[in-house]
Amino acid sequence: MSKMSDRLLKAMDLRGLKQVDLCERTGIGKSSISTYLSGEYEPKQRNLFKIAEALQVNVAWLMGKEDVPMEGPMETGHSIDNLLPIKRRKVPLLGDIAAGEPIWAQESHEDYVLADGDVPCDFALKVKGDSMEPLLLDGDVVFVREQPDVLDGQIAVVLVDDSATLKVLYHIPDGIQLVSKNSAYAPMIYAGPHASAVRVLGLAVQYTRGLI
């Protein structure tokens, strides 16, 4: 193993990060990170800066230079006043979500999409169907922040029995009402003993069109 890969492993261990965490924080592919960890290849400057920033370590230390502290000034290349980096991070794409009849959102952590670094979210789902038109179209990717409930009128990812769906949520006496943006779809009401079948997975915080 190279000195760089040794220090990469050391920094990841100190920060409590796994390979998948480093992929998410840097946007670098899993196969590339694997070659860096094995010492087969060393990252080029652009990826080196990304890794150092994600691990909060000195770039020179990460490169294996002696007599350089692990932590200290990080030369990330962001010091030019009028040149700002676009903030992006990778979040898992967990599969399709119905904008119509509920379907199960298959968890597939092999797939990731880039999210806005300024918008807190935990995962993304691909819309399938037309019940949220004209706001959300079939094929849009929705970014979701995990939380157990949302405010009335907000768009939520909701688990109904074993199926996930995307709907505007309202709290009603003794239950939940799920409403589509498309008026062709009737509201879905779960009240009384049926209310326990509904569980909020998170709040839709952002979407993108034509991403994948």
Read off the pLDDT of residues 6-30 as tens digits, 9 standing for 90 and up. 889 998 988 888 898 898 888 888 8
Q: Can you tell me the distance from the alpha carbon of 142 to that of 152, in angstroms, rounded to the nearest whole number?
A: 19
Write the CATH number for 168: 2.10.109.10
Tell me whether residue 71 is in a domain: no
Say yes or no: 24 and 106 in one domain: no
**Quick check: helix, strand or coil at residue 60?**
helix
User: Is-catalytic flag, 87?
Assistant: no
Average pLDDT over all residues of the chain: 82
Say yes or no: 131 and 204 in one domain: yes
Say yes or no: 136 and 32 in one domain: no
Say yes or no: 101 and 175 in one domain: yes
Say yes or no: 118 and 52 in one domain: no
Total domain count for the chain?
2
Say yes or no: 199 and 99 in one domain: yes
Read off the pLDDT of residues 53-111 as tens digits, 9 standing for 90 and up. 888 888 888 888 877 788 755 444 444 445 555 667 778 887 767 666 555 455 545 57
Tell me whether residue 74 is in a domain: no
User: Is-catalytic flag, 44?
Assistant: no
**Quick check: helix, strand or coil at residue 10?**
helix
**Quick check: helix, strand or coil at residue 155?**
strand
Say yes or no: 16 and 107 in one domain: no
Catalytic residue among 126, 128, 131, 180: 131
Catalytic residue among 50, 128, 167, 180: 167
Say yes or no: 95 and 192 in one domain: yes
Q: How far is CA 92 from CA 130, 146, 149, 188, 204, in A?
A: 23, 13, 21, 28, 15
Averaged over 188-199, what is the pLDDT?
88
Q: Domain limits at 97?
A: 90-208
Residue 55: exposure state from Cβ atoms within 10 A (0-12, 13-18, ≥19):
buried
Say yes or no: 109 and 194 in one domain: yes
